[in-house]
Amino acid sequence: MKTIDDFNFEGKKALIRVDFNVPLDGSFNVTDTSRIEAAKPTIVKILEDGGSAVLMSHLGRPNGKVNPDMSLSHIADTVSEIIGVQVKFAKDCVGQVAEEAVANLKDGEVLLLENLRFHDEEEAGDEAFSKALSQLGDIYVNDAFGTAHRAHASTTIVAQFFPDHKCFGYLLAKEIKAIDKVMETGEKPVTAILGGSKVSSKITIIENILDKVDNLIIGGGMTYTFVKAKGGKVGDSICEDDKMDLALDILKKAEAKNVKVYLPVDVLAADAFDNNAKTQFVDVDKIPDGWQGLDAGPRTLEIFKQVILNSKTILWNGPVGVFEMESFAKGTIAIGNFIDEATKNGAFSLVGGGDSVAAVKQFGFEDKVSYVSTGGGAMLESLEGRTLPGIAAILD
């Protein structure tokens, strides 16, 4: 696996695919800089070698049309502040404007190209567009895990024009190693905590990780499909009735592979999907009609705690309750605390997938786990066992 440590960038222009698809407020201020900060070590290494950096990214979904609201010019000052170098900006990502900006770029300087997705050819993976991008650098660096599952021009196709001069940036290399540590080389016992609302969205992940894990903790809305399938009463809880056979099949497969599955035994039920609803703790399989399970209960959390604290490798993908509402966030916070404790005791913990990452950030667990993945869809596809096109293009 070639990383930027395998190259000396002195006098070279590095064409770097970063993921600067960051949230902006109404005044175009960046409200979460973590993706820019994550790319900083890669950019700094190239500058310290004596090279220059040409940054390319998308922002939002402009659907192939120029949209001033989605211009990367809005973030150039923020990127400058974080990297510590005044970033130049090119008003296009290909063609004469981009080529002239790159030609004028000196060693130690950084250029940010305009939004790749202002061109239809980016998402189409167009070869001519990819070739035009390739002329803007001497070495291609992919450091955008968040888009590594897309076979777009800048993430995948462009790599073929750098047969011997392509590599992973520090961030993408760290993502690959973190997933590998859970899926291939993790110290046992390995525990996966899967939450979220639907079994259907996690089925391929579950099927892929059954060969890799010792314990599978299931929480969140998925719980009720399993509980109802086993004959329990789930009241008005979210439930995929058409996936109940699938849920039973998963439990059978897990048993055959000696994977211990832990479902909640009690939940905090509410009489409405509302932060101010009436609540009560009930057995997970005895939820009254008109009530719905919205968080894990205390007996459940005690069981989950023991499993997590006895684990050496932990994957957390998905919350165990409706954490966006304060009344139903306690279970998810508790899971974060258990993982924090296990990590302090030497376990390796990886958090990935949109909602669990959001929860980790919201409740201040970012520095208390081993690794927080930056890519939602890319992380999920990795856990499903797929080889991501953006990764394959560098390894090829």
The reply to whether 180 falls in a domain is no
Check whether 278 has a pLDDT greater than 70. yes
Cα distance between residue 247 and residue 254, in whole Å: 11
Q: What CATH number corresponds to the domain at position 50?
A: 3.40.50.1260
pTM given for the model:
0.86
Quick one: pLDDT band at residue 196, thresholds 50, 70, 90?
confident
* Range with lowest mean pLDDT among 29-43, 132-146, 194-208: 194-208
State yes or no: is 35 an active-site residue.
yes
Active site residue 290: no
Does 392 map to a domain? no
Q: How many domains does the chain have?
A: 2
Considering 12, 13, 17, 35, which one is annotated as catalytic? 35
Question: Known binding site for substrate: residues?
Answer: 19-21, 35, 58-61, 117, 150
Same domain, 166 and 193: no
Is the domain of 109 the same as that of 192? no
Residue 60 above 70 pLDDT? yes
- Residues of the chain with pLDDT > 70, as a percent, come to 100
Per-residue pLDDT at 357: 84
Range of the domain at 361: 186-383
Domain endpoint, select from 173, 207, 229: 173
Q: Which of 148, 173, 198 is the last residue of a domain?
A: 173
389 domain-assigned: no
d(CA 145, CA 165): 19
In a domain, 48, yes or no: yes
**List 354, 361, 385, 386, catalytic entry:** 354
Is 204 a residue whose pLDDT tops 90?
A: no
User: Which residues, 6 or more positions from 358, have their beta carbon under 8 angstroms from its beta carbon?
Assistant: none
Q: Which of 278, 271, 280, 330 shows the shortest CA–CA distance to 304?
A: 330
Give the model confidence (pLDDT) of 292-348 as tens digits.
999 999 999 999 999 999 999 999 999 999 999 999 999 999 999 999 999 999 999
* pLDDT at position 380: 79
Asked, for residue 178, whether it belongs to a domain, the answer is: no
Do 220 and 368 lie in one domain? The reply is yes
Same domain, residue pair 291 and 343: yes
Same domain membership, residue 90 and residue 58: yes
Q: Identify whether 299 is a catalytic site residue.
A: no
Per-residue confidence band for 146, with pLDDT thresholds at 50, 70 and 90: confident
For residue 354, pLDDT over 70 is answered with no
- Annotated binding residues for ATP, written as ranges, equal 202, 293, 324, 353-356
87, 190: one domain: no
**Where a domain ends, among 151, 173, 195?**
173
pLDDT at 172: 94
**pLDDT of 59 higher than 80:** yes
Say whether both 151 and 196 belong to one domain: no
Same structural domain, 125 and 211: no
Are residues 118 and 205 located together in one domain of the fold? no
Q: Cβ distance 338 to 193 under 8 Å?
A: no
Query: Which of 64, 108, 377, 385 does the annotation list as catalytic?
Result: 377
Catalytic-role residue among 131, 198, 286, 299: 198
Residues 128 and 234 in one domain: no
Q: Is 354 a catalytic residue?
A: yes
In a domain, 396, yes or no: no
> In terms of domains, do 335 and 194 share one?
yes
Q: Is the dihedral of CA 280, 281, 286, 287 positive or negative?
A: positive
Grade residue 108 by pLDDT with cuts at 50, 70 and 90.
very high
Judge whether 390 lies within some domain.
no
Q: What is the pLDDT of residue 210?
A: 93
Question: Does pLDDT of 282 surpass 80?
Answer: yes
The answer to whether residue 68 is domain-embedded is: yes
